[in-house]
Structure 1
Amino acid sequence: MSDGILVQQPSTVRPPSPRSPFITGLGIGQICSWGSLYYSFPLIAEAMRHDLGWSKTELYGAATLGLALAGLAAYPVGAAIDRGHGRLVMATGSVLAGVLLFAWSQVSGVLVFYLCAAGIGALQAATLYEPAFAVVARRTGAGHARSGITALTLWGGFASTVFIPLVQLLLDRYGWRDTLMVLGAINLVLCAGLYAGVINPGLDHPAEGHASSQDASRTTGSVVRWAMRQPVFWALAIAFTAYSATFSAFTFHLYPLLTERGLDSAAVVAAMAIIGPAQVAGRVVIWVLAPRASVRIIGSAIMLVFPVALLMLAELPPSFTLIAIVAALYGSANGIMTIVRGLSVPEMLTRQAYGSVNGALSAPSSVSRAIAPLGMAALWSATGSYDAVLLTLIAGTLVLAVSFWSAAILSRRAAQPVQVCHVQRSDLQR
């Protein structure tokens, strides 16, 4: 670094157990945040389409805008958490999300709907996995965050299982406006309460929490600049951007893609239902069988699964059995990929300024996740078939694999700055 060096501080603080109230509270909050802010949108949008007569383009354009705004917010949110403001960020984000859900329940025009839905999308940067991972890394120290992050993904994996049927039940009984009121209350009371209660900056790992705010800001900026000069950073950025684009496009277009290939809607829905449990199963396998395996090894192995699954879908005759196998493969790999994303920064790049560095990596991923479904829709419109879309998705998974493998190789040779306190060179020369 240009103005100082970093010296390791020993710590006797024991990281919280994955079963601790801290991880449990964050985990329950993640189920509710993911369920109310992310998984609920397609169901509510469909109900609004029937009630208000709006087009899918109008409805999903708001979600796209929100995801793009989340990408822009990712770095400042991560930097704020690195400065010790995790409780403020996540609790306030949930309060604002609750208020916007209440406002959304009263909309009758497209403009106000866009303001509400786009705002909720942007607040995902302050309430979903990335900020939660950063909070865990700050509490445990980035070098000890693995078990906490893995446990958190197990909790989050149940969000769709819990909230999709819950939201559908509420829609059937009370309609979309009252459903949004319930979701708003969940954010205001449960999510905000949990994040305010379990996130305590006073319990942060000593190496993370003892610098002054001015020193922390200067050190964070130096670490981010250092990280962005490393080839590993850009290889990971390309990999995660390709992954986010492929995942988003595949998720949004899977239903019409499969029906176009001749499967009936009941079979498609049944196959898609496999993806969620497969994600949790994949994470459990890593938790039980490979708790200490390098993220380089885990990530490098699962990179093969994505192109293989999509190639099977493209080349083999469509049947429910095939689609179920593809869904299981894709779901389990996707579940493990969430862990890989959460651990790649501390294990492959740097253990410092986790929130800021991870936020910088997440920004292009969020933007690609926002625009990929629209891009694939345009490609389908231009070609009149999902064949070109599927080939493009396969190409995206190959970019993902090659980029991550490159990052894994480069990270073995990368010199990582060691976490801790800022010490002026002049102090060491006395």
Structure 2
Amino acid sequence: MSQPAARAEEAAPGDAAPSASDTRLLWGIALGQTIGWGTLYYAFPLFGAPLEAELGWSRAAFNAGLTLSLLVSGLAAIPVGRMVDRSGGRRMVAWGAGAGALLLLAWAGTSSLPVFWGIWLLMGLAHAASLWAPAMAVVVAMARDPARTITGITFVTGFTATIFTPLTALLIEGLGWRGALLALAALQAVVLPLTLWLLPAEGERPSTAPRPGFSLWQAVRRPAFLQIAACFAALSFVSIGLTAHVIPMLRERGLAEPMVILIVSLHGPFQVAARALLFALGKRVTMRGVGKLATLLTPCAMLVLALAPPALLPFLLYALLWAMADGLMTIVRAAGVAEILGREAYGTITGALTMLSLLPRTLAPLAIALLWEGMGGYGPVPWLLAGLGCVAAATFFRAAR
């Protein structure tokens, strides 16, 4: 048995005998992550057009806000991961969610571009403290069956874009962009008490806590870690870039607005369908196998995006392929890291993976915006994303081997 696998057995979360059922943990994380991602991330690109129209900001200037947020969240990933490994993440996830609500309120009250950038710089700390990585560390540390719990969580969070894309569009249409932000802030504020109520209190020492003598430097020098890091970095550029630009990209291709909203909104149901299949297969598949499939689907989806004519069916195929890839990789990023690298210092290790994805995550929205401005359109963007998808597939296959 390999050393990481042996550590995974010895540090299995089931040994911690959590005080609440996995079901309560599942719903506490799932509801908080659905609202958090919907209000603090997926809603962002829909505010671009009204802010550009009212305040005269350029697309690159607007997307620089998300770039700053991703930069700060990446830099904070390792310190946050260490704190979660040492003392648990329940309070951090809750108070990070509360900070996100306050920052949405601040955004609703500003017309200054520098203030907007400052708000999104601080939003990066809220992202690092409340979204996904610390939440998954809580699950890995406390759940009796982490893989099953994570899969269940992704069933719920898979509907985030489906819920929040049309909801945010309706709020902006009915309340204006400032009123929409106030409504989203009120919804986000609910996550703080919800998290504290549903998530069980941590014990004195989380099961993912590193043993004495643990060296992050030695951990990140392992070939499998470096290969997974390269894969995640490439996929981060693809995912973040698409999130920020897919709506104007589809509009540019000549698709009608209802069709654009439909294609974006179907991302969630298609993700859930892929996860349902994975759940049904159970022990017959491994996270290594799931990761291989997901990384192969990514460049296929980008090629369809590049070549599809402006009709519904081809873009539905793109939406299906990309949603399956993205949905499965969400599980691989959480449970797959534990399977391949072990659970010891899980928060710190996943923080290091996030930090190594910092540059592509940070550059993606702004780089694609600059490419759009320089080329006069999004024409070369899908080809760039397809190439990065091939890099992700090649590096993950090596790590899985």
Fold shared, TM-score > 0.5 on shorter chain? yes
SS in 2 for 1:147: helix
Match in the other structure for 2:99: 96
The letter for the 2-side match of 1:123 is A
Mapped pair 1:224 → 2:227:
no
* Alpha-carbon RMSD: 2.8
Match in the other structure for 1:407: 399
| Bigger mean CA deviation after superposition, 330-339 or 377-386 | 377-386
**1:78-105 alpha-carbon deviations (Å, 9 max, x no partner):** 1111112412211121222222222222
**1:300-338 alpha-carbon deviations (Å, 9 max, x no partner):** 122221122223343465532111112111111211110
Change (3 A) 1:108 1:374: closer
Contact 2:88-2:202 at 8 Å conserved across structures: no
Contact 1:227-1:350 at 8 Å conserved across structures: no
Residue pairs, 1:235-254, within 5 angstroms: 235-254=227-246
Matched length: 394
| Bigger mean CA deviation after superposition, 39-48 or 92-101 | 39-48
Following superposition, the deviation at residue 291 of structure 1 comes to 4.9
In the alignment, which of 343, 358, 364 is matched to residue 351 of structure 1?
A: 343
TM-score where L is the length of structure 2: 0.88
Following superposition, the deviation at residue 13 of structure 1 comes to 5.0
SS in 2 for 1:222: coil
Following superposition, the deviation at residue 31 of structure 1 comes to 1.3
Q: Which runs of 5+ in 2 are unaligned?
A: 1-5
Mapped pair 1:145 → 2:149:
no
How far apart in 2 are the matches of 1:146 and 1:225? 27
Residue pairs, 1:325-404, within 5 angstroms: 325-384=317-376, 386-404=378-396
How far apart in 2 are the matches of 1:382 and 1:48? 21
Match in the other structure for 1:171: 172
Match in the other structure for 1:120: 123
Match in the other structure for 2:207: 208
Match in the other structure for 1:48: 51
How far apart in 2 are the matches of 1:320 and 1:8? 51
The letter for the 2-side match of 1:102 is L
The letter for the 1-side match of 2:195 is Y
**1:382-415 alpha-carbon deviations (Å, 9 max, x no partner):** 4445443222211101100000001001xxxxxx
Contact 1:18-1:147 at 8 Å conserved across structures: no
The letter for the 2-side match of 1:165 is P
Following superposition, the deviation at residue 350 of structure 1 comes to 1.8
**1:121-140 alpha-carbon deviations (Å, 9 max, x no partner):** 33111111111101111113
Change (3 A) 1:166 1:103: same
Contact 1:23-1:152 at 8 Å conserved across structures: yes
Contact 1:310-1:394 at 8 Å conserved across structures: yes
Following superposition, the deviation at residue 38 of structure 1 comes to 0.9
SS in 2 for 1:20: helix
Contact 2:165-2:265 at 8 Å conserved across structures: no
How far apart in 1 are the matches of 2:55 and 2:283? 50
Match in the other structure for 2:163: 162
Match in the other structure for 2:192: 192
How far apart in 2 are the matches of 1:54 and 1:387? 23
| Bigger mean CA deviation after superposition, 232-241 or 253-262 | 253-262
The letter for the 1-side match of 2:68 is L
Contact 2:22-2:143 at 8 Å conserved across structures: no
In the alignment, which of 99, 112, 117 is matched to residue 109 of structure 1?
A: 112
Change (3 A) 1:304 1:240: same
Mapped pair 1:61 → 2:64:
yes
TM-score where L is the length of structure 1: 0.83
| Bigger mean CA deviation after superposition, 355-364 or 248-257 | 248-257
The letter for the 1-side match of 2:58 is S
How far apart in 1 are the matches of 2:58 and 2:308? 34
Contact 1:249-1:376 at 8 Å conserved across structures: yes
Q: Percent identity?
A: 36
SS in 2 for 1:352: coil
**1:42-69 alpha-carbon deviations (Å, 9 max, x no partner):** 2334333333333323222111111111
Larger Rg: 1
Change (3 A) 1:43 1:16: farther
Change (3 A) 1:279 1:174: same
How far apart in 1 are the matches of 2:51 and 2:211? 47
Contact 2:19-2:200 at 8 Å conserved across structures: no
SS in 1 for 2:344: coil
Q: Which runs of 5+ in 1 are unaligned?
A: 210-215, 410-430
| Bigger mean CA deviation after superposition, 257-266 or 336-345 | 257-266
| Bigger mean CA deviation after superposition, 385-394 or 67-76 | 385-394
How far apart in 1 are the matches of 2:308 and 2:80? 44
| Bigger mean CA deviation after superposition, 80-89 or 156-165 | 156-165
Match in the other structure for 1:71: 74
